[in-house]
Chain A
Amino acid sequence: MVKRISLSLVVLALVAGCSSGVKLNDVPVEDKSATSTAGAGAGSGAGAGGSTQSGVTPVDIGASGANAAGPANVARIIYFDFDSYSIKPEFQSLIEAHSRFLKANPNRKVVIEGHTDERGGREYNLALGQRRSEAVRRSMGLLGVTDNQVEAVSFGKEKPAAQGSDEAAMAQNRRAEVSYR
């Protein structure tokens, strides 16, 4: 004897936040199509079917601030060799000029931003960029700049100065920038 599979006409009002299905063969015969939008939970709604279960509310961030001015006519970028955070001698005078400025202006603050080229993982490169910015901060400290005027951060490989995978571009990206805030 063939057991009839009875499928009934069913309209179900969903419980708020829960859309687990209902087993087909367990469903009683009911037609609530005229009243399904009344008294329903938050998971369903009137009109075009109501709100979904997986909504995301977007957050939009506006433009970031601009830098403040530092000492005039002084370069702000120190470049590094591959896999290195040693400050090369040709950048010593740049660091001395910024250090003089900061000692003369004790209320000014500077952020040293460390960067890497594009090779390697993002978080590990963040840490490598941090080594570069901290090397610059240490040099400034040795020249007498007070510690609370200088913050060392890293952008890792997230803000390249030059696009491209050739050595010239990568050399431009291995850097620390002196950023007056």
Chain B
Amino acid sequence: MLVALAGTSALPALAQFRVEVTGVGLTQLPIVIAPFRGEAQSPQKIAAIVQADLERSGQFRPVDAAGAVLDETSRPDMGVWRQKSADALVTGSVNRLADGRFDVRFRLWDVVKAQDLGGQSYVVPQGDLRLAAHRIADFIYEKLTGEKGVFSTRIAYVTRSGGRHTLWVADADGENAQAALASPEPIISPAWSPTGTQLAYVSFESRKPVVYVHDVSSGRRRLVANFRGSNSAPAWAPDGRTLAVTLSRDGGSQLYTIDANGGEPRRLVQSSSIDTEPAFSRDGKSIYFVSDRGGAPQIYRVGVGGGNPERVTFNGSYNISPAPSPDGRWLAYVSRVGGAFKLQVMELASGNVTSLTDTGSDESPSFAPNSRLIVYATQLQGREALMTTTLDGKIKARLAGKGGDIREPDWGPFQAQ
């Protein structure tokens, strides 16, 4: 929504206000996020959360606000901000209401064209202040890039500390983590359902691996795969009605599909090798998986109705953990290269592969729902950590996380608001 300010519209636009969002090597849009009026007294520093979100996306470069005191009612002097080479400006305020909730407001300005790009007002309980900041970052991201922001989404991950294993649900920046499950035995392979309300995972609490589907907000969970032997590697079909899993009930690790409510599994592929780590393509028509039918683990793809799998990875002798992007264009996975385990991304149309990291213990890649970022686990200075990376590997960020060894991230979907 544009509101022209007659007082400033006479000034010429100095720089092209444009963000390039295709191709490798994104242009970063310089943006000022002025501290929100009232945030010094509020439990959360809204401007800093917004700035960190935009910076982590790799598509924005923060410009210092240098002590400017502004809010969403201000009519800022665009000349000041053009001098600082900013293309966009965000102003806002946070007010505590009589009932204990907070009123968070902001306005986004196109500095170059001196145009008001709109604003929003959110009234939230204290516990949702960070969520309000993430929604503001989404609004800004979408207005300025034309793509959907992922800052209000959630991630799941597992920590191990002092013999205790915990499955956490956190904001996409790793903050605000809440425990969904705490267990004396390992938890691996968390997988968000397409609606973002449930997590499938493998739990060893009964001293063998079994697959649960767990409703996050209520804590209610059900056993979906508890067959003889090992049950693991749950993956949701895009319609949320079916899971693919790895079962050893018929001997060896083999792939099956099963109704999300449990029941009799259907064999997907039959082999005398290890077949595991299924991952549905976005259109739900194919399943990527890992198989060592060729002698060493490689990634294959098969139609959901079964049939002849087609090999997908050809570089290197050990390729695992396929993670197809939601937009269907990319496949992230982990490759063992000279003893190190390294995150790769393949452009599916061309088969071109890019190595994304300098680290050597990368695991468990998962795409953001806008297909622009990948979260993965790795080791930094000997400690396990969660990182996000842009698809060109150029902008990386370390996520905040709960203490203890941290691993197994899965990025949740966009959720209905």
Residues of A within 8 A of B (CB): 1-3, 5, 7, 10-14, 18-25, 27, 33-34, 36-37, 44-65, 111, 113, 120-124, 126-128, 130-131, 134, 151-156, 158-159, 179, 181
Contacts and interface: CB of A to CB of B under 8 A. Distances in A.
Contacts of B105: 7, 24
5 tightest Cβ-Cβ pairs between the two chains A and B: A21-B120, A49-B125, A57-B219, A52-B127, A127-B253
B248 A123 contact: no
B334 A54 contact: no
B276 interface: yes
B229 A56 contact: no
Contacts of B7: 2
Contacts of A21: 120-122, 135, 139
B230 A124 contact: no
Contact of A24 (B119, B124, B188): B119
A44 B103 CA distance: 13
Nearest to A58: B179
Contacts, number: 232
B121 A121 contact: no
A1 B4 CA distance: 10
Contact of B107 (A24, A50, A59): A24
Interface stretch (B49-57, B79-87, B93-101, B367-375): B93-101
Contacts of A18: 417
A58 B185 CA distance: 16
A33 B99 contact: yes
21 contacts: A3-B4, A3-B6, A11-B97, A11-B103, A21-B135, A21-B139, A23-B119, A55-B178, A56-B216, A58-B180, A61-B184, A111-B207, A111-B208, A123-B188, A123-B189, A123-B232, A126-B209, A130-B252, A131-B252, A131-B274, A134-B251
Contact of A121 (B179, B186, B341): B341
Contacts of A113: 207-208
A64 B180 CA distance: 18
Interface in B180-238: 180-186, 188-189, 203-209, 214, 216-219, 221, 228-230, 232-233
B248 A134 contact: yes
Interface residues of B, number: 86
B342 to A, nearest CB: 12
Given A52-B125, A121-B334, A126-B209, A64 B185 contact: yes
A38 B334 CA distance: 53
Contacts of B68: none
A52 B188 contact: no
Interface centre among B127, B179, B203 (most CB of A within 10 A): B127
Interface centre among A10, A120, A126 (most CB of B within 10 A): A126
Contacts of A159: 186, 204
A134 B249 CA distance: 11
B363 A61 contact: no
Contacts of B221: 59
B246 A127 contact: yes
Contacts of B118: 23-25
B334 A52 contact: no
B320 A22 contact: no
Contact of B97 (A3, A33, A126): A33
A64 B6 contact: no
A113 B229 CA distance: 10
A56 B277 contact: no
A19 B154 contact: no
Given A5-B116, A11-B103, A21-B135, A124 B274 contact: yes
A123 B1 CA distance: 49
B246 A153 contact: no
Given A49-B125, A58-B181, A59-B214, 7 more contacts: A7-B72, A49-B124, A49-B127, A56-B219, A58-B179, A121-B341, A131-B252
